[in-house]
A and B are shown apart, each in its own frame.
Chain A
């Protein structure tokens, strides 16, 4: 195989069939990689805080968390969060992926705490946001022992 012939002069002319196939794919890949609105490839890694149970915070614990905390109320109305000293923002669960809100969550410097009166909803939103690469987000709950066995089986 003659390498000089392969990569010599008139490269574009020689590969005028190959380049229109490879180049558009390369550009599409570039756009896809740069944008933040897609899931990360390693689901296990993004879900790790849930395996270690380090992503759950009780209301009492928020005072001891360092950094500028942002509490996101996923329900409509502020409920039990009235009177907390932290900044609270109401973002309905179905709007967390809207660009303006997602940017706030993703770019916030400090812990982001997700609250919902339905613990299942908070858990689901937490996992969706974590898988999209949001770090330093937690579930804020008034029942941190939710996953502990509470009633002895008879």
Chain B
């Protein structure tokens, strides 16, 4: 496949993704922050659903020989960096009300808080690059390679998919309960 076609497909997927995010209301920082306060759990429902649909689809496509999962990039796992980065990212998400993707989506419709959030993200990236020689050991610590969860658990990919779907169903049910428990109609009626 020529490279320009790869890039065109990436562009179209990106446009589709941004459109879907905006349509689902993920340009609103209050909706996103609602995930952590419990009054609006749309984020976890949408993203977890997307993950399990993609997982089921890719597993079936692999089974029927339509997709070679060996060619799909698997993130390399650094334990320390994942924990530290996850804490920083989680704190930033709650405080800022955006994650990188939704921040871009909100910025594209002119939200000022998203613009400030995004410039904060760029500042963080710049600081990471400039301080890399000092934090290199931390960043590269506890390297495990491109691990897949099912391989780490010693179960088949199919069984893992099924268990994840069950976990998702349980999570959605808990999310619905949380929304009733922590309802904030003064916010949810506005967004």
Residues of A within 8 A of B (CB): 1, 25, 28-29, 32, 38
- Of chain B, the residue at the smallest CB distance from A28 is B64
- Of chain B, the residue at the smallest CB distance from A39 is B65
Residues of B within 8 A of A (CB): 60, 63-65, 173
A29→B63 contact, CB < 8 A:
yes
| Smallest CB separation, B156 vs chain A (Å) | 9
Chain A residues with CB below 8 A from B173, complex form: 1
A40 to B63: give the CA distance in the assembly, Å: 11
A38 to B173: give the CA distance in the assembly, Å: 40
Q: List 6 A-B pairs, minimum CB-CB distance, nearest first.
A: A25-B60, A32-B64, A32-B63, A1-B173, A28-B64, A29-B63
Chain A residues with CB below 8 A from B60, complex form: 25
| Smallest CB separation, B148 vs chain A (Å) | 15
Chain A residues with CB below 8 A from B63, complex form: 29, 32
- Of chain A, the residue at the smallest CB distance from B56 is A25
Chain B residues with CB below 8 A from A25, complex form: 60
A25 to B65: give the CA distance in the assembly, Å: 14
A25 to B64: give the CA distance in the assembly, Å: 10
A46 to B16: give the CA distance in the assembly, Å: 42
- Of chain B, the residue at the smallest CB distance from A29 is B63
A28 to B66: give the CA distance in the assembly, Å: 14
A38 to B60: give the CA distance in the assembly, Å: 15
Q: List 7 A-B contacts (CB under 8 A).
A: A1-B173, A25-B60, A28-B64, A29-B63, A32-B63, A32-B64, A38-B65
- Of chain B, the residue at the smallest CB distance from A33 is B63
Chain B residues with CB below 8 A from A28, complex form: 64
- Of chain A, the residue at the smallest CB distance from B173 is A1
- Of chain A, the residue at the smallest CB distance from B176 is A1
A25 to B63: give the CA distance in the assembly, Å: 11
Chain A residues with CB below 8 A from B65, complex form: 38
A50 to B169: give the CA distance in the assembly, Å: 45
A26 to B65: give the CA distance in the assembly, Å: 16
A1 to B173: give the CA distance in the assembly, Å: 9
A29 to B65: give the CA distance in the assembly, Å: 12
| Smallest CB separation, B54 vs chain A (Å) | 16
